[in-house]
A and B are shown apart, each in its own frame.
Chain A
Amino acid sequence: MKRRTFLTASALSVASLSGCLGDAEYRITNTAAETSLPPISLSVDLPVADATIEHPAALTLTLENTVDDPLRIRSYGVWPFGVLALAPSPTPGEDTLKPTLFSPSYETTDRVEVSRGGSSLSLDGTPITRLLAPGERVSRRYELRGDDLPGSGTYYVVQNFDRRASRYSAGDDWKPLEYRIRLSIEEKRRLSI
């Protein structure tokens, strides 16, 4: 092989293979939010789509009271969404591995403690109940670290603990805050050469 051919082939192979030995990084390519609750509207924004080694991906969940009466929302840990995780199905089993979503709001309270990777998690059992006034919107940021994800695919935002799910009430009855947020996540290539 001629030296120039060899050097060109080496450079190209290095360029194409570089980064393959590193950790997987991800990109949230699509989000969809559905809610079946008439008094409540839920939307999801994606301020940071990429979960790379430099930074986590970020989702902003917004809850809005769409009726004329105030609503009470009861949550555990942080209000109003609670401690969230990702799961491969909207109704995961108890044994399903669920990467925990981190929220800056966890840092503002001692009601929830989540270790890196979600391997250790403690949640205060005392509920937090607050009013959501008519037309009021409340937004919370949640972050997803790439090294917590087991792989690419479709994931759903779920409550980390089923028995600590957020609920709402317009009167005396407490109903589960039911919604479905679907994320399509793809593995991201490091070098775009």
Chain B
Amino acid sequence: MRWSPLARSESRTVLTSKGAWILASLVVLWGFRPTYAGWDAVGRNITVGYIQIGVDLFLPIGALLVSYQSLIGERTTGSIKFLLGLPLTRTQILLGKASGRFVGVGAAIVAAALALAGIGLVEHGPFGLLPFLGTLVATLLLASAMVAVGVLVSTVTRRTVTAATGVFAYLLVTLFWTQIVTSVYTAITGVPVDPYEAPASGPLFLALRLTPDGAYNVLTNWLLDVGNSAELFHIVATKLAPGVSVNAFVVEAAFDGGGPWYLHPALSVVVLLVWVGVPMALARRIFTEGDAL
């Protein structure tokens, strides 16, 4: 592939930056959280849960921060002229940039996951290999989705400050996604949403899992076999425990019989793939048809 040298250069840029390793450190630091609720929920697979906790918060921020400058950085320094002078099509440049950044972020996050696995192995003993490997794949899928969003932001903006604002706006929206979805749902249907007793509404639950991190949590909760929800695994287990009331949206707690088919956790793979494909397609369209400079 002609764009592989560019991808290698991009991944080297990420892997030799402090940002990628700060991200990995934060994932480990934040993720390793031994809790009674977590142990009661999944036992030794709490080690896999540590990965979910760390990744859920820090991977979206970290991956966006190391990828949103992928093209805008070249523009602001003027080095994009050199890049465009290479014997590569613009699509190949975009592919090289995105895949290189993904490899860098992916390597850092895999290192963090392995560190958490090592700590968990020492602290709690062996854990399920299948949930671990599944969570690793889901984590890489989330990383690729976030890199795709970062590359899109980098493609559509002309100034670094605008790109940074875009990243911040994205993070704010995903941070308050539950509140946004429930407010919109109430405004449309007139039905107030009480997270302690959530209405059995398929569209409401579907909307809650449409963000990359929400889809990631649904998928990893499925792998951990705790329940069908975009919340963290120990919150889902607490919600489903008898006699406990928690403000969390969990399908099994709201629906009798598991809910509609489109809430099946496996479909979160599709959500994540859409988050990879659509931003990349948009970025390609903008980068190939617009003024690259």
Contacts and interface: CB of A to CB of B under 8 A. Distances in A.
B33 A21 contact: yes
B34 A23 contact: yes
B133 interface: no
A178 to B, nearest CB: 34
Which secondary structure dominates chain A's binding surface?
A: loop
Nearest to B44: A54
Given A14-B28, A191-B119, A23 B35 contact: yes
A22 interface: yes
A18 B36 contact: no
Interface residues of B, number: 21
B119 A53 contact: no
Given A10-B21, A14-B29, A115-B243, A190 B36 contact: no
Contacts of A115: 243
B227 interface: no
Given A10-B21, A10-B22, A23 B32 contact: no
B124 A54 contact: yes
Interface in B100-132: 115, 119, 123-124
A53 B39 CA distance: 6
B25 interface: yes
Interface string B35-72: 11011000000100000000000000000000000000
Given A54-B124, A190-B123, A191-B119, A18 B38 contact: no
A187 interface: no
Interface string A22-57: 110100000000000000000000000000111000
Nearest to B34: A22
Given A17-B29, A53-B35, 6 more contacts: A7-B21, A18-B28, A21-B32, A22-B32, A115-B243, A146-B36
21 contacts: A6-B18, A6-B21, A10-B21, A10-B25, A13-B25, A14-B25, A18-B28, A19-B32, A21-B30, A21-B33, A22-B33, A22-B34, A22-B35, A23-B34, A23-B35, A54-B39, A115-B243, A145-B36, A147-B36, A190-B123, A191-B119
